[in-house]
Chain A
């Protein structure tokens, strides 16, 4: 895509208020979608989404839409009114997934109550049944398969089933970034996978994708997941290690730092993943180009993995940019 996102060429704006984690601030092109959704204006939402020129954009936009409280009301009406249209059912299903996940994560996760799990699963089942239909009708419909990776995980349908879903999607969209991010979660030990599977998948995503694709970011995301799982002390040592640093550096080179990279709606998230991962290992000089691109444009993920994500971002950015021999302003 040729993006009109502000500052795509790098050196994004910084301001005295510090980083913004708001996806709409970071990608103002998405603001009309939010406006339409909050007004319950289905025709406008539909027009916005059907006007997008890539499935990656559609997937990203649909996940943002699914995070807006109350959209299920107009989506339910739209799905009922257009039973043959995959779009409203898929958006509704993804919204159900978010509702369910909010119930599950709302409490302390190690003590999610039986009742919360029941409700969580109930929402996911509602979503899944819509998605089964959509995928049966439109086997190449990426947003539905991507959402089915989330239902498969939440409903604990198993590694092989999640992989089957990804493979069905992969047959039509071999480098679908959001789906790759979802499957990576499933492949981590916390969801029944293994580190071999997670790192192996991330490596495969990176090597199979064309130069400049976001898919190389999976390598960084896998290391971040590994770091998250390690005990305090071990985690920092892991990220400081040279093998991880080199792995990250190679992945960044073939993806978001490659000259062929064309920024899209996932680019900001991808740079944040690299910036975060390099910062965890104090590899400031490697974090620098990512921060330079980002400016103030931060993303909740992965920064929410550290306590004060705002100051962590600022601190890391400062250290990274200073390692280049001077700040930006």
Chain B
């Protein structure tokens, strides 16, 4: 029943684990196992498929397969679950050997023959799950970095729960949940008898390549009040994971303990694929303090980038990380991480190697990581922007607009919808938002004619026929004809009161106030009064001069007299002018 590991797994450093972790294959599935104390065993079956493998239109596909595969297990006291992440799906269980065997067999049986009669019910369950989940302050970060594709999809609703067909779901299971795209781990002395994990033959899919919706980094976006979030992408390394802990402690120290601006301040390091990991740092903020949280966040990152990292900061993180090797069931505890590395094609370090790397990390290494973290950073801040800290606002508008029929907004005179042969654009005073049909990740459709198109870059245009002039069924049909069928997601009809109606027209708001008005009106009034008087007297002087000059006997004494009176007026005007200017300084 057990044979050699696949060739691609043999090269991945498993040999280094000899004596610590045993490995074999179970019905062609690479299997890692190591004993743990206690009566129960834990097992996990990883598949290299996750949300990032889907498209916006099929989002939720993997999650659906996971739910369907678990359905036949029904209600039981067994401690089991499934989890769908960006780059993997995990079925895991804890129990007696028989229970674990029964669970794993059932999961594989389920994957071989998904209970399609449950499809609509499970879709409904996923929609309900999503509604209860809520976004969290980090929700928008992936889509701004990656767009509406790959690793960006975790920002979105699982649209596939609307439209996926049994064929699509079955095909996904057959191609992605295969023996060649899986790794099994079990915390036991040997692989239990009675396992039947027969799965179709397939191929190992590498984790999807990252897409980018950020032309320039470090970048920033605006987010809700009360939260500051940073994400970055780091090359996976021991130093990078240490850096995440050092950053978390530094933020806590600077923002909470020293400043008292935040309650939570933390950082996290999560592998994304074989080569890269996602760094996430977060701090909350009291409403009165959030500009200080942004400033403190920027300064903490600048400090680490400048290499002003205390040896004690590094040492305490290192000590904490080394402590994880104190566990008695070290090998068993490390199985999930080894299995995931094997699945993703990431190098596997023995505990000795990892300990040695941890001990070798220097503050200089951390400084390098800090610079990499800043270079790839996306920062979400409440309130005003952070361009002052050298970050660039993430693109808020598309590069170009399409041409086509123009439909004026019924709510705002300055907004026009364009439906063209190549895509749709919303023209706004600040710039266009365009979704091209050939780069459309998904278009949801309503029977009432409403369409929401989302491009791979994450830009989205909503076409509500009730809100734009002349969006006739013909124009909606033109739109439908342009979008590839695979991107179309039909949505149920809306209640009549859910269909938006135009609100009163809006004009553009007034100019931004500068926020530093000062009391100069008195000087302004004085300047006008005295200035006008001086001008009027000056004019009179000119007339008198001209008049006298043309007279036969000019009275130059009188002319000089009126001009002398003009001097103090001109002088007073000048003085008031300068005084007013000076008063406006701060």
Q: Please report A residues at the B interface, Cβ cutoff 8 Å.
A: 105, 108-110, 112, 114, 117, 121, 124-125, 128-129, 132-133, 135-137, 139, 151-152, 155-161, 163-165, 167-168, 185, 190-192, 228-232, 304-308
- Chain B 552-586 interface residues, beta-carbon cutoff 8 Å to A: 575-576, 578-586
Q: Which residues of A contact B383 (CB under 8 A)?
A: 158
B47 to chain A, nearest CB (A): 44
A194 to chain B, nearest CB (A): 13
Beyond A109-B520, A137-B306, A190-B516, whether A157 also contacts B585 by CB under 8 A is no
A126 to chain B, nearest CB (A): 10
Name the 4 nearest CB pairs between A and B, nearest first. Answer: A158-B291, A109-B584, A307-B579, A136-B302
Q: What residue in chain B is nearest A163 (Cβ atoms)? A: B292
Beyond A129-B390, A135-B299, whether A160 also contacts B292 by CB under 8 A is yes
- Answer yes or no: B445 CB below 8 A from chain A CBs: no
- Answer yes or no: B74 CB below 8 A from chain A CBs: no
Inter-chain contact A128/B389, CB cutoff 8 Å:
yes
Q: How far is the CA of A192 from the CA of B289 in the complex (A)?
A: 14
Inter-chain contact B586/A158, CB cutoff 8 Å:
no
Beyond A155-B388, A157-B388, A167-B259, whether A191 also contacts B292 by CB under 8 A is no
Q: Which residues of B contact A167 (CB under 8 A)?
A: 259
Inter-chain contact A191/B586, CB cutoff 8 Å:
yes
B534 to chain A, nearest CB (A): 16
- Can you list 11 A-B pairs with a CB-CB distance of less than 8 A? A109-B520, A109-B581, A114-B511, A125-B390, A128-B388, A152-B295, A157-B291, A158-B291, A164-B296, A191-B515, A228-B519
- Answer yes or no: B503 CB below 8 A from chain A CBs: no
Q: Which residues of B contact A304 (CB under 8 A)?
A: 582, 585
A48 to chain B, nearest CB (A): 27
- Answer yes or no: B294 CB below 8 A from chain A CBs: yes
Q: Which of A124, A136, A164, A190 contacts B306 (CB 8 A)?
A: A136
Q: Which residues of A contact B430 (CB under 8 A)?
A: none
Q: Which residues of B contact A164 (CB under 8 A)?
A: 259, 261, 292, 295-296
Residue of A117, A164, A231 with highest tally of chain B CB at under 10 A: A164
Q: Which residues of A contact B580 (CB under 8 A)?
A: 108
Q: Which residues of A contact B524 (CB under 8 A)?
A: 110
B52 to chain A, nearest CB (A): 34
A47 to chain B, nearest CB (A): 26
Q: How far is the CA of A304 from the CA of B581 in the complex (A)?
A: 10
Inter-chain contact A190/B290, CB cutoff 8 Å:
no
Q: How far is the CA of A228 from the CA of B294 in the complex (A)?
A: 32
Inter-chain contact A228/B261, CB cutoff 8 Å:
no
- Chain B 126-149 interface residues, beta-carbon cutoff 8 Å to A: none
Inter-chain contact A136/B291, CB cutoff 8 Å:
no
Inter-chain contact B520/A307, CB cutoff 8 Å:
no
- Answer yes or no: B11 CB below 8 A from chain A CBs: no
Residue of B261, B305, B524, B585 with highest tally of chain A CB at under 10 A: B585
Q: How far is the CA of A157 from the CA of B382 in the complex (A)?
A: 12
Q: How far is the CA of A124 from the CA of B302 in the complex (A)?
A: 18
Inter-chain contact A185/B586, CB cutoff 8 Å:
yes
- Answer yes or no: B298 CB below 8 A from chain A CBs: yes
Q: Please report B residues at the A interface, Cβ cutoff 8 Å.
A: 259, 261, 288-292, 294-296, 298-299, 302-303, 305-306, 308, 383-384, 387-390, 511, 514-520, 522, 524, 575-576, 578-586
Inter-chain contact B387/A109, CB cutoff 8 Å:
no
Inter-chain contact A159/B291, CB cutoff 8 Å:
yes
Q: Which of A137, A229, A306, A308 contacts B518 (CB 8 A)?
A: A229
A164 to chain B, nearest CB (A): 4
Beyond A108-B581, A109-B584, A137-B306, whether A160 also contacts B388 by CB under 8 A is no
Q: How far is the CA of A157 from the CA of B586 in the complex (A)?
A: 17
Q: How far is the CA of A112 from the CA of B384 in the complex (A)?
A: 20
Q: Which residues of A contact B516 (CB under 8 A)?
A: 190-191
Q: Which residues of A contact B388 (CB under 8 A)?
A: 121, 124-125, 128-129, 151, 155, 157
B149 to chain A, nearest CB (A): 33
Inter-chain contact B584/A110, CB cutoff 8 Å:
yes
**Interface contact tally, CB-CB below 8 A:** 109
Q: How far is the CA of A24 from the CA of B335 in the complex (A)?
A: 74
Q: What residue in chain B is nearest A114 (Cβ atoms)? A: B511
Name 20 extra pairs, CB < 8 A, besides A191-B515, A191-B586, A304-B585.
A105-B584, A108-B584, A109-B584, A125-B387, A125-B390, A128-B388, A132-B299, A133-B306, A136-B306, A137-B308, A157-B388, A158-B384, A160-B292, A161-B291, A185-B586, A228-B518, A230-B519, A305-B582, A307-B575, A307-B579
Provide the main secondary structure of the chain A interface. helix
A116 to chain B, nearest CB (A): 10
Q: Which of A105, A110, A112, A151 contacts B520 (CB 8 A)?
A: A110
Q: How far is the CA of A125 from the CA of B393 in the complex (A)?
A: 14
Q: What residue in chain A is nearest B385 (Cβ atoms)? A: A155
Q: How far is the CA of A108 from the CA of B514 in the complex (A)?
A: 13
Beyond A128-B388, A158-B383, A164-B259, whether A305 also contacts B295 by CB under 8 A is no
A56 to chain B, nearest CB (A): 22
Residue of B302, B515, B524, B578 with highest tally of chain A CB at under 10 A: B302
B183 to chain A, nearest CB (A): 43
A224 to chain B, nearest CB (A): 12
Q: Which residues of A contact B522 (CB under 8 A)?
A: 231-232
Inter-chain contact A129/B520, CB cutoff 8 Å:
no
Q: How far is the CA of A298 from the CA of B7 in the complex (A)?
A: 86
B369 to chain A, nearest CB (A): 16
Inter-chain contact A135/B302, CB cutoff 8 Å:
yes
Inter-chain contact B294/A190, CB cutoff 8 Å:
no
Q: What residue in chain B is nearest A229 (Cβ atoms)? A: B519
Q: Which residues of B contact A160 (CB under 8 A)?
A: 261, 288-292
Beyond A128-B389, A151-B388, A228-B583, whether A190 also contacts B299 by CB under 8 A is no
Q: Which residues of B contact A305 (CB under 8 A)?
A: 582-583
Residue of B295, B514, B585 with highest tally of chain A CB at under 10 A: B295
Q: Which residues of A contact B578 (CB under 8 A)?
A: 307
Q: Which residues of A contact B579 (CB under 8 A)?
A: 306-308
Q: Which residues of A contact B306 (CB under 8 A)?
A: 133, 136-137
Q: Which of B295, B519, B520 contacts A161 (CB 8 A)?
A: B295
Q: How far is the CA of A2 from the CA of B10 in the complex (A)?
A: 78
Q: Which residues of B contact A308 (CB under 8 A)?
A: 575, 579
Q: Which residues of B contact A157 (CB under 8 A)?
A: 291, 295, 384, 388
Q: How far is the CA of A110 from the CA of B584 in the complex (A)?
A: 8
A73 to chain B, nearest CB (A): 23
B230 to chain A, nearest CB (A): 15
Q: Which of A132, A137, A185, A232 contacts B298 (CB 8 A)?
A: A132
Beyond A124-B388, A128-B389, A232-B522, whether A165 also contacts B295 by CB under 8 A is yes
Inter-chain contact A109/B303, CB cutoff 8 Å:
no
B287 to chain A, nearest CB (A): 10
Inter-chain contact B291/A112, CB cutoff 8 Å:
no
Q: Which residues of A contact B292 (CB under 8 A)?
A: 158, 160-161, 163-164
Beyond A136-B303, A155-B388, A231-B522, whether A110 also contacts B291 by CB under 8 A is no
Inter-chain contact B302/A133, CB cutoff 8 Å:
yes
Q: How far is the CA of A305 from the CA of B584 in the complex (A)?
A: 9
Inter-chain contact A190/B517, CB cutoff 8 Å:
yes
A310 to chain B, nearest CB (A): 11
Inter-chain contact B291/A132, CB cutoff 8 Å:
no
Q: Which residues of B contact A307 (CB under 8 A)?
A: 575-576, 578-579
A132 to chain B, nearest CB (A): 5
Q: How far is the CA of A229 from the CA of B330 in the complex (A)?
A: 70
A1 to chain B, nearest CB (A): 29
Inter-chain contact A136/B582, CB cutoff 8 Å:
no
Q: What residue in chain A is nearest B524 (Cβ atoms)? A: A110
A123 to chain B, nearest CB (A): 11
Residue of B388, B520, B578 with highest tally of chain A CB at under 10 A: B388
Q: Which residues of A contact B581 (CB under 8 A)?
A: 108-109
Q: Which residues of A contact B390 (CB under 8 A)?
A: 125, 129, 132
B22 to chain A, nearest CB (A): 49
B446 to chain A, nearest CB (A): 42
Q: Which residues of A contact B294 (CB under 8 A)?
A: 161
Q: How far is the CA of A110 from the CA of B522 in the complex (A)?
A: 13
